[in-house]
Amino acid sequence: MDSFIGLLQSNSSYILAVAAIAFTWMVAQKMGGGGAPGSGNSRGAAASCPFVNSGAAAASSTSTATATNTEVASAAAGQAPPKLSPGHPRVTAEGRLIALDPENKIAFKLVKKEHISHDTRRFRFALQSPEHVLGLPIGKHMNLSANIGDQLVVRPYTPTSSDDDLGYFELVVKVYFKNVHPKFPEGGKMSQYLEGLRIGDTVDVIGPKGRITYQGNGRLSVCEINKPEAFRQAKHFGLIAGGTGITPMLQVIAAVLKNPKDTTTLSLLFANQTENDILVRDMLEQYARDHPTRFKVWYTLDKAPAGWKFSEGFINADMIAEHLPAATPDAQILMCGPPPMINFACIPNLEKLGFTAEQFLKF
């Protein structure tokens, strides 16, 4: 914070630029309906839910996150400060520079690649400087885009890192290789593209995107297009994830458990094909060991190995009843996974157990 204040003091033009941006932002908020997040005021979707649209950003311009620490250093030396997008302050309440831009794609450079398993990778991408945070609210995702062959491919991803991590973000990605699954002989276009990146290569990112934001202490903000912002409050979260759908759940789990004042409890039901497919298992089980009264995890596999102590088979009503909170007014269910799992295994069984449409949400 002190370094940020010093930067402002050393560059009066930067002060004027930030002031102009802040004034523009305040005017836009006033015209859009105003009100602080979490105030409980119902506002129009355009004002309160600016990141709902998660579609492809094919027409967005692309800037490159190549400034590293020289951008901040040049500003401190009286040179041109980091560029800020019109109408978007790109600075957190704590004075941290925000890397993401919801209106323009930014190219982030790959700086580290780790093989977690035969088909799972951890990618680390550098932000514009070591002082930047990604700027992704809990519950939101971002879109990665790339020209693959003659097609623009856009896919949503949720990082496993958080805004506590300065200067970078990380993605844990399951690579869907060609000629592995008979129903998808071409494999996953974006995951294979990421697999082919070399250190120093870039990927285009735009965000935040999404309709759900976790605001802390069991409070969820839900934004639907052309609807006012709505809020849900819970003491107990039941989380149902399938495969790579674990990443937004991990984001919520980490946010709750790192805050000792957040008394929300979490129970996770995590479905995968095989034991080797369980992503971030070490992180989940470490959370469960560190917070045994606040977080519990249970697995189910399509194909369980001998001696498997968890469940086997598709998610059903018995699994939900045994391992997730009951359908009380204090409970909310969050879901993320393949559409067949959500539509045929989760929702019908939740309704069977007495959950209403206001008690479950899909990322």
Active-site option among 49, 120, 132, 157: 157
Active-site option among 141, 214, 244, 300: 141
State yes or no: is 244 an active-site residue. Answer: no
Active-site option among 49, 223, 336, 346: 336
102 is in an annotated binding site: no
190 is in an annotated binding site: yes
155 is in an annotated binding site: yes
177 is in an annotated binding site: yes
State yes or no: is 132 an active-site residue. Answer: no
State yes or no: is 236 an active-site residue. Answer: no
85 is in an annotated binding site: no
113 is in an annotated binding site: no
172 is in an annotated binding site: yes
SS (H, E, C) the chain: CHHHHHHHHCCHHHHHHHHHHHHHHHHHHHHHCCCCCCCCCCCCHHHHCCCCCCCCCCCCCEEECCCHHHHHHHHHCCCCCCCCCCCCCCECCCCCEECCCCCCEEEEEEEEEEEEECCEEEEEEECCCCCEECCCCCCCEEEEEEEECCEEEEEEECCCCCCCCCCEEEEEEECCCCCCECCECCCCHHHHHHHCCCCCCEEEEEEEECCEEEEECCEEEECCCCCCCEEEECCEEEEEEEHHHHHHHHHHHHHHHCCCCCCCEEEEEEEECCHHHCCCHHHHHHHHHHCCCCEEEEEEECCCCCCCCCEECCCCHHHHHHHCCCCCCCEEEEEECCHHHHHHHHHHHHHHCCCCHHHEEEC
191 is in an annotated binding site: yes
Active-site option among 88, 132, 158, 323: 158
96 is in an annotated binding site: no
Annotated binding site: 155-157, 172, 174, 177, 189-191, 247
Annotated binding site for FAD: 155-157, 172, 174, 177, 189-191, 247
Give the residue numbers annotated as catalytic, written as ranges.
141, 157-158, 336
